[in-house]
Structure 1
């Protein structure tokens, strides 16, 4: 998995065997876009979670109009790790029938942001994520 650039305005995620997912239309020069992609690729190489899930968790969090602080970022990174493990446990055997990031990660981020401050633990996020995954997979069963 790596970021790639095309022209002066497109940054997209390239994953073997999957479609290219555009992440941003930017105003970068081609050289700036290549440098950006290089830095991000160095950061996401060998992570134990899907970086797209982390991005969509944060996007969902921001939909709730709650600022993403450093502490929130650390929490969401742990949630992304947990989502990766849940995906392997619940979805890998038969595959996930939809778009995991948009159907699970982003709504989960919004759900987490709406919890009372300092009252949501990783275990709460896991319970909610399990329910969401099972509900989505049940729709296609």
Structure 2
């Protein structure tokens, strides 16, 4: 495994892991609330909005799938393992030209939340979850837009 990443998730102490667990619970609760509100209020959403949302999420899913394939190819040709490469490590090594965006995001968002996504979760797990959720929501929004009259 590559030892050059000083923010590997295994280096986090108990307090940091607890904070990331809280951040994960907040994300799960907030995401669940947003999905619940979308599903329960689908009749009040306009058909063009649902259609746009569906196509947008499917497009984002395709981009995420390409990034996931890129991560898997990077893992195959490097000394990283599937469970060892965090999204931060991938971004640092493969997207170093735009790494400043990640640092800028840390100035705007809760650091433990950002650590959960970029440092703690392996890149493959993070991207697989994101791709699955956005694909399912995209197809649901398209189906909901076709059901509305």
Q: Normalized against structure 1, the TM-score is what?
A: 0.24
Larger Cα-atom Rg:
2
Which one has more relative contact order, counting CA pairs under 8 Å at least 6 apart?
Answer: 2
Which protein is richer in helix relative to its size?
Answer: 2
Q: Normalized against structure 2, the TM-score is what?
A: 0.23
